[in-house]
């Protein structure tokens, strides 16, 4: 019985795929840096410029 199950289903696989890729983490980091620069802007013109880069 076990050999038939092994043939049909195969052995258990414990490999786990990454949930968030490295590219996604890099994109999130870049967006966070842009948001920080927007929040640290002091003048209105600098805020507008930083906000344009963020979106």
* Predicted confidence (pLDDT) per residue in 12-40, tens digit: 777 777 788 889 999 999 999 888 888 88
Residue 51 counted as domain residue: yes
Quote the domain boundaries for residue 26: 21-55
The Cα 26–Cα 29 span in angstroms is: 5
Residue 55 counted as domain residue: yes
Q: Coil, helix or strand for 6?
A: helix
Residue 40 counted as domain residue: yes
pTM for this model (two decimals): 0.51
Domain count, the chain: 1
- Output the pLDDT for position 1: 58
Cβ atoms of 37 and 48 closer than 8 Å: no
Among left, alpha and beta (phi > 0; psi -120 to 50; other), residue 10 is left
With 0-12 / 13-18 / 19 or more C-beta atoms within 10 angstroms meaning exposed / middle / buried, residue 10 is: exposed
């Amino acid at each position: 019985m076990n050999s038939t199950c092994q043939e049909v289903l195969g052995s258990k696989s414990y490999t786990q795929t990454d949930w968030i890729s490295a590219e996604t983490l890099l994109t999130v980091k870049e967006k966070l840096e842009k948001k920080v620069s927007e929040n640290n802007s002091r003048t209105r013109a600098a805020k507008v410029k930083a906000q344009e880069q963020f979106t």
